[in-house]
């Protein structure tokens, strides 16, 4: 087929695809040992209040320090871990580690307001029957109050979700844990559906933020964000924006009524000490 099409380009593309498949295969097999050997680590990216720029909390973002391939981002291995089910123990480790970290920040900044921690959950974790019990145990062991935890679930993971899937989320929400709809606006979900979901935060996808990069921003995008914010607020949901890279974007999104923001403009994901220093800066 590729030859008939007459190009080396196709063979080259095939070879590249083969190599990617081999790497994927190798990474998939290396995952369990990597977890045992402690090759994963977490970077934290601050979430700030758009009103005054103070630190609201941080999102935990997992990375894999691979002995041959160097540091790999989650897009390289989370789908593989999802596929094999390793996401359950890996996700539990991320939760445990980041909750412990959040408790540590809170102890260090007892008067600095309740610093919060956001942790991503993937669909397989949502389906896992131990989710609620594991989460309760992790919080209790670390001594972190449920109100300081926000679990992020993508909009696409909840599209068409039945009661069976929503029940554990509802239980977590009833305990005071915030549930955020991550990458909101990309999943074409029915907005009326929002009422049915036990969520308290909408995280507007980066694609919206991107269109605010050049000012004046596209008037249609502005109207869309305005509409989402007003709907969210009328349902008593907070709005977080991701991917804020410039001060102009931040200002525009603040004017549109968004509550909190996250992005390179404030800080790239980094070591836990970075959050510590940012909170100290707030305090002065």
Residues at the site binding ligand C2E, with contacts judged by CB under 6 A = 45, 61-62, 73-75, 78, 91, 94, 120-122, 152, 182-183, 242-245, 262-264, 269
- Closest approach of ligand C2E to the CB of residue 157, in Å: 10
Identity of the residue, 74 or 198, whose beta carbon is nearer to ligand C2E in the bound complex: 74
* Chain centre to alpha carbon of residue 131: 17
**Which positions lie near Mg ion, rule CB under 5 A?**
120, 152, 182-183, 242
Identity of the residue, 177 or 244, whose beta carbon is nearer to ligand C2E in the bound complex: 244
- Closest approach of Mg ion to the CB of residue 138, in Å: 18
**In a 3-state reduction of DSSP, which class is residue 47?**
strand
Identity of the residue, 242 or 259, whose beta carbon is nearer to ligand C2E in the bound complex: 242
- Closest approach of Mg ion to the CB of residue 37, in Å: 26
Write 87-92 long-range contacts (CB < 8 A, 24+).
87/122, 87/124, 87/125, 88/124, 88/125, 88/128, 88/130, 89/35, 90/31, 90/35, 90/40, 90/62, 91/121, 91/122, 91/125, 92/134, 92/138
Name the token pair of 177.
């844990």
**Contact partner, 139, from Mg ion, ligand C2E, none, Cβ < 5-8 Å per class:** none
**Contact partner, 168, from ligand C2E, Mg ion, none, Cβ < 5-8 Å per class:** none
**Contact partner, 178, from Mg ion, ligand C2E, none, Cβ < 5-8 Å per class:** none
- Closest approach of ligand C2E to the CB of residue 210, in Å: 8
| Residue that is written with structure tokens 């269109």 in the block | 211
**Contact partner, 12, from Mg ion, ligand C2E, none, Cβ < 5-8 Å per class:** none
Task: Compute CA distances 101 → 96, 114, 116, 145, whole Å.
Answer: 9, 13, 10, 13
| Residue that is written with structure tokens 């099409």 in the block | 5
- Closest approach of ligand C2E to the CB of residue 11, in Å: 31
DSSP readout, 161-185?
A: --HHHHHHHHHHHHTT-EEEEEEET
Nearest by Cα to 189 from 231, 234, 236, 127: 231
Identity of the residue, 109 or 204, whose beta carbon is nearer to ligand C2E in the bound complex: 204
Report the greatest alpha carbon distance in the chain. 70
**Contact partner, 263, from Mg ion, ligand C2E, none, Cβ < 5-8 Å per class:** ligand C2E
**Contact partner, 187, from Mg ion, ligand C2E, none, Cβ < 5-8 Å per class:** none
**Contact partner, 264, from ligand C2E, Mg ion, none, Cβ < 5-8 Å per class:** ligand C2E
Write 128-132 long-range contacts (CB < 8 A, 24+).
128/88, 130/88, 131/168, 131/172, 132/168, 132/171, 132/172
- Closest approach of ligand C2E to the CB of residue 209, in Å: 8
- Closest approach of ligand C2E to the CB of residue 31, in Å: 13
Identity of the residue, 217 or 241, whose beta carbon is nearer to Mg ion in the bound complex: 241
């Amino acid at each position: 087929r590729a030859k008939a099409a007459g190009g080396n380009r196709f063979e080259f593309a095939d070879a590249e695809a083969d190599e990617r498949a081999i790497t994927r295969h190798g990474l998939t097999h290396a995952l369990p040992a990597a977890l045992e050997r402690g090759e994963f680590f977490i970077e934290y990216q601050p979430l700030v209040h758009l009103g005054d720029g103070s630190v609201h909390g941080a999102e935990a973002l997992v990375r894999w320090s691979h002995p041959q391939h160097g540091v790999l981002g989650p897009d390289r291995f989370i789908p593989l871990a999802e596929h094999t089910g390793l996401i359950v123990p890996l996700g539990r480790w991320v939760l445990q580690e980041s909750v412990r970290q959040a408790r540590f920040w809170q102890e260090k900044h007892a008067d600095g307001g309740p610093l919060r921690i956001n942790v991503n959950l993937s669909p397989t974790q949502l389906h896992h029957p131990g989710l609620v019990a594991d989460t309760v145990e992790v919080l209790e062991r670390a001594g972190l109050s449920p109100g300081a935890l926000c679990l992020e679930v993508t909009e696409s993971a909840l599209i068409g979700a039945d009661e069976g899937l929503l029940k554990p989320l509802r239980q977590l929400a009833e305990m005071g844990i915030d549930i955020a709809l991550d990458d909101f606006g990309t999943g074409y979900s029915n907005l009326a559906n929002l009422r049915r979901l036990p969520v308290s935060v909408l995280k507007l996808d980066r694609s919206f933020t991107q269109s605010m990069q050049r000012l004046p921003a596209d008037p249609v995008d502005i109207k869309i964000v305005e509409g989402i914010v007003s709907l969210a607020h009328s349902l008593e949901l907070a709005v977080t924006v991701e991917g804020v890279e410039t001060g102009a974007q931040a200002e525009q999104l603040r004017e549109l009524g968004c509550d909190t923001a996250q992005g390179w403009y404030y800080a790239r994901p980094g070591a836990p000490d970075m959050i510590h220093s940012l909170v100290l800066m707030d305090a002065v």
